[in-house]
Structure 1
Amino acid sequence: MSIQEVRAALWGDEKNPHGHITHVLLDMDGTLIDKYFDDYFWKHLVPQIYSEKQDISFGKATEQILALYKHHEGTLNWTDIDFWSEQLGLDIPALKEQVRHLVDVHPHVEDFLKVLIKRKKQVVLTTNAHYKTIAFKMKKTALGKYFDKVITSVDMGVPKEYEGFWINAQQTLGFNKKDVLFIDDTLEVARSAASYGLRYVLLKNMASSREITTNNSELLSIDNFSELLPE
């Protein structure tokens, strides 16, 4: 499969002038929104504030916090900011507000979303993020108006890395696996979606504007949403 084939399935060609993809499922952090914000927040700001609160070195704070992150990775706790506020004794939502200026949308995301709406595709934000995080990001970026529906790992009862998410997502949205495009920046999540049988799964490279990622040969990938715009 090629990007040109994805575009044809999405926008149409001579055989099918409207394209047969009906649902476009899009991850949020790293895919639509620059992951630099989250990298800075969780790997720098949170350890810094925690080190001050606990009166320990930044290095020691980082070591302790990364161990906690690792322990809860792949669970519903992973993106639950209320859980992390309680675990770390910090007001995570308030800290996010302090650096909200770092939240930014990847290039050509809005161009892509506008065409999806114009072509009457069902556009679904599909994320592991906590609802407070979604509200915070949508308020800052104004992307919320483009989505027909939002489904989260809490709604589905399991993170996107697991088949149960996709089983419940299909039941919730009523899509045909062959008529879905899903885009995510996390390889494990993209693998999960492809394994479940979603026909069109793309990996978004360059999740963070400050970190260059190499193309993944296992799955079809894009660096920029301009690659998916109709010609």
Structure 2
Amino acid sequence: MIDWRAIDTVLLDMDGTLLDLHFDSHFWLEHLPRRYVELHRLDQATQEALRARIIREQGTLNWYSLAYWSRELGVDVVALKREVQHLIGLRSDALDFLRWLKAAHPRVVLATNADRASLELKLPLTGLEAYLDAIVSSADFGVPKEEQAFWFALQEVEPFDPQRTLFIDDNASVLESAREFGIRHLLGIKQPDSRRPEKELEEFIALDRFASILPDNLPSAAGEARAAGEEKEKGAHG
């Protein structure tokens, strides 16, 4: 499915791709509306209205901003997230995939719509950072991945060849945006949320497990170049 010799850069989404989306689904659609009503002593109808309001922001930078929701709702969203942080976890074979990437040596970049507050919560709990060469949040650019401006901004801070880049994301709108930018290798995720049914992406191949795209001990092009450089350096000092 993927010719790893043709891949120099791997761009990875976080929530729903590396991490189980169950935490976010539960928090935004269940825990936050319930706690908002409890804290402000409001009725059940308000809880339903808030859930609808959250969904209306989908695809915008506000949708992903903890600061925005804290300000709008008058609650500490980060503190409320910590109440259910035990639900934060990696998807089934994400760690094995990350370990393989680290050994194969393409450049691995986390490209996420999660803001820095979300990253500060999730990274220490999941250990993702140890496997990443760079972490980029759309909040840093002021535009979500759904917009072309994100990809131009990303390439400014993290140069990559779109033709030699693999991008994996569970969001079809984001994948469409990446395709428009010219990223050649695009994959979706079949079951971002382990507690919800699988979904099909009409225009993209959706992965069930990362193992399905891993070859048997085949190094990437970037890995071969790096390994050759290391051997050359050893020879120079031998």
TM-score, normalised via structure 2 length: 0.86
Matches within 5 A, 1:68-107: 68-107=53-92
The aligned counterpart of 2:106 is 121
Aligned-partner Cα distance in 2 for 1:32–1:184: 9
Residue 191 of structure 1 pairs with residue 190 of structure 2: no
The aligned counterpart of 1:42 is 28
Work out whether residues 43 and 62 of structure 1, in 8 Å CA contact, stay in contact via their aligned partners in 2. no
Aligned-partner residue type, residue 103 of structure 1 = I
CA shift at 1:196, angstroms?
A: 1.2
TM-score, normalised via structure 1 length: 0.89
Matches within 5 A, 1:148-227: 148-227=133-212
CA shift at 1:97, angstroms?
A: 1.1
Work out whether residues 28 and 51 of structure 2, in 8 Å CA contact, stay in contact via their aligned partners in 1. no
The aligned counterpart of 2:236 is none
- The SS at the match of 1:73 is coil
Aligned-partner Cα distance in 2 for 1:208–1:111: 19
Deviations, residues 160-213 of structure 1 (Å, cap 9, x unaligned): 001111111122211111000000001100111011110001011101000112
1:26 to 2, 5, 12: 12
Aligned-partner Cα distance in 1 for 2:55–2:8: 36
CA shift at 1:220, angstroms?
A: 1.5
2:40 to 37, 54, 75: 54
Ranges in structure 1 where 5+ consecutive residues have no aligned partner: 11-18
The aligned counterpart of 2:220 is none
CA shift at 1:73, angstroms?
A: 2.8
Aligned-partner Cα distance in 1 for 2:64–2:202: 28
The aligned counterpart of 2:222 is none
CA shift at 1:71, angstroms?
A: 4.3
Q: How many residues align?
A: 216
Aligned-partner Cα distance in 2 for 1:70–1:46: 13
CA shift at 1:63, angstroms?
A: 2.6
CA shift at 1:84, angstroms?
A: 0.8
Aligned-partner Cα distance in 2 for 1:65–1:88: 9
Ranges in structure 2 where 5+ consecutive residues have no aligned partner: 217-238
Which stretch of structure 1 is more off in the superposition, 165-174 or 190-199?
165-174
CA shift at 1:143, angstroms?
A: 1.1
Work out whether residues 50 and 61 of structure 1, in 8 Å CA contact, stay in contact via their aligned partners in 2. no
Aligned-partner Cα distance in 2 for 1:65–1:107: 31
Work out whether residues 172 and 188 of structure 2, in 8 Å CA contact, stay in contact via their aligned partners in 1. yes
Aligned-partner residue type, residue 182 of structure 1 = F
Larger radius of gyration: 2
The aligned counterpart of 1:13 is none
